[in-house]
Amino acid sequence: MSYEFTVSGRIARSVHEVFEAVADPAKLSGYFTTGGAKGRLESGATVIWDFHDFPGAFPVHVVEVVPDTRIVLRWDAAPDEDAAGLYQTTVTMTFEALEDGRTLVRIHEAGFRESEAGRRASYGNCEGWTGMLCAMRMWIEHGINLREGFYK
């Protein structure tokens, strides 16, 4: 069984506003992709995410987008020493309206190899997605960029 995880958080904004904070590259670049995001998240697209605090731009393959409901992405896992070579993991984000007007965001990533390197990669990405949820909440609710200077 490969490594996987789920993180979640509640954001005090409508589902549409929270969904757009991920799908719209200009908004995503405001709090998460410190080097910028190129391309809107739409089914079948390949977009580029860049992080100045973790150097290098890389492709993100958009498998499925259901507006205001779900985004499914595939991207390369961290390189390891496995003779099988590079592989991809799948990220599924869901957006659920709560009765109190907030939005519950869940991020699930699966497909990490059953190895020490796969375990480490899954832990690192779990940390990254948790940081993304925190940064998104502060950006959307308060206009504060938590990532600015956090990693460098």
CATH number at residue 114: 3.30.530.20
User: pLDDT tens-digit profile of 91-105?
Assistant: 999 999 999 999 999
Question: Could you give the number of structural domains in the chain?
Answer: 1
Question: Which CA distances in Å does 52 have to 49, 57, 74, 79?
Answer: 10, 9, 21, 19
- Is residue 17 in some structural domain? yes
- Is residue 150 in some structural domain? no
pLDDT value, residue 122: 95
What SS3 class is residue 93? strand
- C-alpha span between 94 and 88 (Å, rounded): 20
Q: Which domain holds residue 66?
A: 3-142
For the chain, give the mean pLDDT: 94
User: pLDDT tens-digit profile of 5-40?
Assistant: 999 999 999 999 999 999 999 999 999 998 999 999
- Is residue 136 in some structural domain? yes
pLDDT confidence of 152, banded at 50, 70, 90?
Answer: confident
- Is residue 149 in some structural domain? no
Rounded to a whole number of angstroms, the CA Rg of the chain reads: 15
